[in-house]
């Protein structure tokens, strides 16, 4: 396995799930850390881009400081025969208040490097899934790389108000939102607008989730915004869409 692609691999077991920490080099800059949870017989692979500043803070021992929705539910993908990869950022990608840096060239190049690495490693259909601010990673990348044959589709959830998709993006698109999401920057209308604005001939779907509980700030991961205690349904809807397209 080329050291150009993988600088570091560690193994750990969390909640009975085996995961691999893979560090993907980015020139002379800090690498992009990723955490892979493999399914026994995978049919697809999903790249998970968390919200906030995008810094999950994956540690050298494979633990993750962030308790983001994607971290809490990463092991749920394996039951659907989907490999799940948590993608970290070595620097703060900003937010709607401080400036969103997810459209900058360096970030999108890192995404492309992660896509290429996992496509080469697994040869599985690759899906990009962004939650909250991560929805802008998914849409920015799709708008720029809509002709990339390595990408099979995108999913956005808790979508931010500024996220949009160009008509040239013909990939299947799923948007998921919690009906009670009361974060000002991620109203339900943000997800419905993206889906309703898609050309009718394209594969697009909106899924609305109810239930669960909300704790802490309304824009935080343990609020309705973060699908707190509805994670099984959240992952099931995304997995079913992936496997049907």
Residue 90 belongs to what domain range? 12-243
Q: Does the residue 1 lie in any domain? A: no
How far, CA to CA in Å, does 48 sit from each of 72, 193, 210, 231? 12, 22, 22, 14
Q: Does the residue 32 lie in any domain? A: yes
Q: Does the residue 7 lie in any domain? A: no
Q: Does the residue 72 lie in any domain? A: yes
Number of domains in the chain: 1
Span 54-76, mean pLDDT? 95
Q: Does the residue 4 lie in any domain? A: no
68 vs 5, higher pLDDT: 68
Q: Does the residue 89 lie in any domain? A: yes
> What are 119-170's pLDDT values in tens digits?
999 999 999 999 999 999 999 999 999 889 999 999 999 999 999 999 999 9
The pLDDT of residue 17 is 59
CATH code assigned at 16: 3.40.50.1820
8-state DSSP, 225:
G
List phi, psi (to 5°) of 232. -60, -45
| Residue from 181, 185, 189, 168 nearest 228 by CA | 181
Q: Does the residue 86 lie in any domain? A: yes
| Residue from 214, 55, 60, 205 nearest 137 by CA | 55
> What are 163-193's pLDDT values in tens digits?
999 999 999 999 999 999 999 999 999 999 9
Q: Which residues is 83 bridged to in the sheet?
A: 45
CA distance 63 to 61: 6
pLDDT band at 86 (very low <50, low <70, confident <90, very high): very high
Q: Does the residue 3 lie in any domain? A: no
204-207-210 Cα angle (round to 5): 170
């Amino acid at each position: 396995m080329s050291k150009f692609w993988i600088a570091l691999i560690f193994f750990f077991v969390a909640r009975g799930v085996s995961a691999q920490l893979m560090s993907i080099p980015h020139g002379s800059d800090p690498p992009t850390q990723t955490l892979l949870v493999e399914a026994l017989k995978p049919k697809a692979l999903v790249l998970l881009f968390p919200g906030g500043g995008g810094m999950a803070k994956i540690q050298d021992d494979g633990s993750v400081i962030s308790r983001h929705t994607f971290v809490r539910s990463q092991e749920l993908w394996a039951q659907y025969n989907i490999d799940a990869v948590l993608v970290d950022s070595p620097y703060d990608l900003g937010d709607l208040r401080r400036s969103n840096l997810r459209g900058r060239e360096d970030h999108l190049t890192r995404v492309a490097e992660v896509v290429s690495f996992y496509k080469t490693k697994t040869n599985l259909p690759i899906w990009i899934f962004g939650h909250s601010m991560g929805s802008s990673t998914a849409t920015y990348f799709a708008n720029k790389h809509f002709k990339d044959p390595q990408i099979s589709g995108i999913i956005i959830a808790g979508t931010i108000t500024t996220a949009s998709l160009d008509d040239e993006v013909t990939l299947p698109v799923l948007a998921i939102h919690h009906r009670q999401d009361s974060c000002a920057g991620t109203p339900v209308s943000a997800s419905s607008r993206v889906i309703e604005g898609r050309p009718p001939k394209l594969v697009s779907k909106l899924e609305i989730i109810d239930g669960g509980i909300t704790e802490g700030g309304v824009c935080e991961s343990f609020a309705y915004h973060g699908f707190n205690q509805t994670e099984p349904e959240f992952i099931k809807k995304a997995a079913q869409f992936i496997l049907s397209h």
